[in-house]
Amino acid sequence: MTLLLEKPARSDSPAARAPYWTMRRRDTLAGWLMVAPQLAGIVTFVLVPLGLVVWYSVHEWNVLAGTFEFVGGDNYQALANDQQLGPVLRATGLFSVGLVVLNLSLALFLAVLLNQKLRGTVVFRTLFFSPVVVTLVAWTIVWGFLLQDNGGVNAFLHVFGINGPNWLRSGGAAMVSVIVVQLFKNVGLNMVLFLAALQGVPAELYEAARIDGASAWARFRRVTVPLISPTILLTMILTIVGSLQVFAQIAVLTQGGPGTSTTVLVYYLYQQAFQFHHFGYGATLSLVLFLIVLVLTVVQWQMRKRWVFHEN
Amino acid sequence: MKILTAALSAAALLAAAGCGGGSGSGASSSGPIDLRMTIWSANAKHLALFDQIAAGYKKDHPEIGKITFESIPFDSYTTTLTTQIGGGNVPDLAWIFESNAPDFVSSGALEPIDKDPDLVPSTTTNWEKDGKLYAYPFSTSPLGVFVNTDLVKAAGRPAPAQQIASGTWTWDEAAKTAAAVQAKTGKGGLVVGDFDYKGWDTLNAIWSGWGARPWSKDGKSCQFDQPQMVDAMTFVHKLIFTGKGMPGPGITKDFFAGDSSMVLTQISRAALLEKAKFHWDLVPLPKGPAGAYSVVGQAGIGVFKRGKHADAAKQFLTYFSNAQNSAKLAEFFPPPRKSELNAATLAKANPLLKPAQLDSVVVKGIENGTIKPSHTGYAELQQTVRAALDPLWKPDADVKTVLSGVCSKINPLLAK
């Protein structure tokens, strides 16, 4: 028996060549085309501005004279020697901690309250959510009038025999004021997210806990909180990032004062870049903000493994 | 990595384009020339007058297409203007605050313009460098005191006009009137226009009466801690917290709505009294310990070198500010021209004001007045002083200590 071995076809013969547009390649191209608009947006509106900020931070730009000079690390050296930066970071931290703690606590409290099957909850949900859709500047201007020494807030307190402080003119009260204005503006958003999460908690778990004799507080701590912890993580990241970027409330209500007690980082970099025309230094400050947001977000993301509950 | 490289390359290109500005002085284009001027007024009457002047210019200049007056809000005016310049969107002409004059003039951003010999010398000082004029001192508006004579009468105090006649119109007397109005009517006493415990430089209209200055004439050393300034600020502090003659921080009293007896502001605000439901008067600033004085607020119009049509813009500015148009503009903006600085000309444009008021407040004010403070890097100085002065606006403040603190904060900036 002779074994006849068939000569293999040459790989470059036209008849045997596999078509270039295989299903896999088509899928890959389709995938890239689908993400292309988003990718173009990220490159244009995220990566290019980020590159520009780095570029500006090693230059000094005199807008009026029209000069743009390379200054190397001068702006970074100025950053290290900036005596104003400490108080600014302190004010930023104070605002962020105050807002995040109050916002998440109040949002969760309201969500739990409005998750009950009681009459009127829909009205209250709408009431607490409505400031979210109001224009930020208009909201802040109205609060500015209310918080004046002879404004609505003090007039209301006076009814109860309380002499309210001059809210926007004394350091501590001014910081509390901008936190509260921002708190009431956005607490509805987190409240709605918490409400959605609460409605996803299986009723059987509460039932089982109740049979086991768990108190209301134990049920909240042992059942509710773990099951809505992914939402807590999400709202925490969003609120922290948002709190670090606060600007309009400061610009409208206090302009960083009294003194520099409410000069937060974004307002400070706006002053340096756009009011004082130190564009290079402003860019350097914005990189500081970028790094702070990045570090905080990464830390929270890593910490999720310790406290965020995932059923799988 | 490739994406990052591409982004940085694009950034470099954009940066180079961004700082390039316009097409340079006198750049020509094939079509009609469009001119754009930024202003901080959105007043319909002001805009109508500007459009009327622009229409008159276009009749004899067929090469001109549109002349646009772009209103930018007062509060963010300079910030928005410089941002436009930074972004390469350079206007052809712009109003410029007197406080920012040194920045614009010394940076070389403006084209030199012809100096008309008719201009009052004191009005051009801020806009000159090395013998050349860099902006037309378009609005030179003295500060005066508008008085609600009904409230002064209700408080049982002599009217300021009577006090001027008897030679007793001083800051001490004005403070007594303000305190009496507050005590007897519950309305506000004296309001300093645009002060609001942030725009501290408007207090210049008070402290000049004590011969005080925020910094030395050469701009190199702080003078907030000098005895004249300490005395002047002590007076202001007492007016607010002891006599209650001035609304305290966070309290708003609108003179033009009838809520206070006096407001210290520029005469161009007289238009707000057209429909006033109270009797009013306009008087010069009270005498201070340093004697009689006046303070002038000012705006200049400059032509940007990096605007697209600098030459055409200069020609338009010459027309816009000529004697004929200056007389029209006098309705709102007191002219800097000697030939027009008289009560007769001003009365035609300001029917609400009496010739005697115009003579004492406007004519003499411009002739003898000092311009509000200015300095290079003014925005940073303004903000730094504002923050350092904030502790002063408390009842128990130590005026001298606070003012020394102001100097320690701004001396490094002045020394730059």
Answer for the pair B262, B123: CB distance below 8 angstroms, yes or no: no
On whether the CB atoms of residues B151 and B187 are closer than 8 A, the answer is yes
What the block records as the tokens of A225 is 């909180």
Compute the Cα dihedral for B254, B259, B264, B265 and give only its sign: positive
Q: What is the pLDDT of residues B162-210, one digit of tens each?
A: 999 999 999 999 999 999 999 999 999 999 998 989 999 999 999 999 9
State the pairing for strand pair B64-71/B33-39. parallel
| CB contact (8 A) between residue B7 and residue A47 | yes
Instruction: Give mean pLDDT, residues A69-76.
Output: 96
Mean pLDDT of A156-184: 93
Task: Return the SS3 of A200.
Answer: coil
With beta carbons less than 8 A apart as the criterion, state whether A214 and A205 touch.
no
| Interface touch B250/A149, C-beta < 8 Å | yes
For residue B349, give both structure tokens. 């444009």
For residue A63, give the chain B residue with the closest CA: B86
How is residue A16 annotated by DSSP?
A: T
Query: Looking at beta carbons, which residues of chain A come within 8 Å of B10?
Result: 48, 51
Alpha carbon distance B247, B309 (integer Å) = 48
Q: What's the pLDDT score for residue B30?
A: 64
Q: How far is A30 from chain B (nearest CA, A)?
A: 21
Lowest mean pLDDT among A110-114, A168-172, B409-413: A168-172
Average pLDDT (B64-71) is 96
Q: Is the pLDDT of residue B48 over 90?
A: yes
Residues of A in contact with B86 (CB under 8 A): 61, 63, 279
pLDDT digits (tens, 9 = 90+) for B12-39: 434 433 333 333 334 444 679 999 999 9
pLDDT tops 80 at residue B2 = no
- Positive/negative CA dihedral, B263, B267, B269, B274: positive
Alpha carbons B342 and A89: distance in angstroms, whole number: 56
Mean of the pLDDT values across residues A8-26? Answer: 72
Which of B72, B75, B79, B240 is most worth mutating to test chain A (most A CB atoms within 10 A of its CB)? Answer: B79
Q: Which of residues 224-283 of A touch B (CB under 8 A)?
A: 255-260, 263, 271, 274-277, 279
Inter-chain CB proximity A62 and B107 less than 8 Å: yes
pLDDT of res. B12 = 41
Whether A150 and B252 lie within 8 Å, measured CB to CB: yes
Nearest beta carbon to residue B10 from set A51, A256, A271: A51
Assess: ipTM above 0.95. no
Instruction: List the 241-300 stretch of B: residues with Cβ below 8 A of A.
Output: 248-252
pLDDT digits (tens, 9 = 90+) for B78-132: 999 999 998 899 999 999 999 999 999 999 999 999 999 999 888 898 899 999 9
- pLDDT value of position A16: 63
Place of tokens 């411009």: B366
pLDDT, mean over chain A:
91
- Give A276 to chain B, closest Cα distance, Å: 5
Q: Do B377 and A151 touch (CB under 8 A)?
A: no
- Find residues 93-112 of chain B whose CB sits inside 8 Å of chain A: 103-104, 107-109
Q: Closest to B79 (Cβ–Cβ): which among A50, A257, A275?
A: A275
Per residue, what are the HEC states of chain B?
CHHHHHHHHHHHHHHHHHCCCCCCCCCCCCCCEEEEEEECCCCHHHHHHHHHHHHHHHHHCCCEEEEEEEECCHHHHHHHHHHHHHCCCCCCEEEEEHHHHHHHHHCCCECCECCCCCECHHHHHHHEECCEECCEEEEEEEEEEEEEHHHHHHCCCCCHHHHHHHCCCEHHHHHHHHHHHHHHHCCEEEEECCCCCCCHHHHHHHHHHHCCCCECCCCCCECCCCHHHHHHHHHHHHHHHCCCCCCCCCCCCCHHHCCEEEEEEEHHHHHHHCCCCCCEEEECCCEECCECCCEEEEEEEEEECCCCCHHHHHHHHHHHCCHHHHHHHCCCCCCCEHHHCCHHHHHHHCCCCCHHHHHHHHHHHHHHCEECCCCCCHHHHHHHHHHHHHHHCCCCCCHHHHHHHHHHHHHHHHCC
Is the CB of residue B12 less than 8 Å away from at least one CB of chain A? yes
Using an 8 Å CB-CB cutoff, list chain A residues near B85: 63-64
Distance CA B27, CA B12 (A): 25
Chain B interface test: which of A54, A57, A63 (most B C-beta within 10 Å): A63
Residues of B in contact with A149 (CB under 8 A): 248-251
Sort A121 into a burial class: Cβ within 10 Å, 0-12 / 13-18 / 19+. Answer: middle
Segment B378-405 shows an average pLDDT of: 95
Rounded mean pLDDT, B251-278 = 89
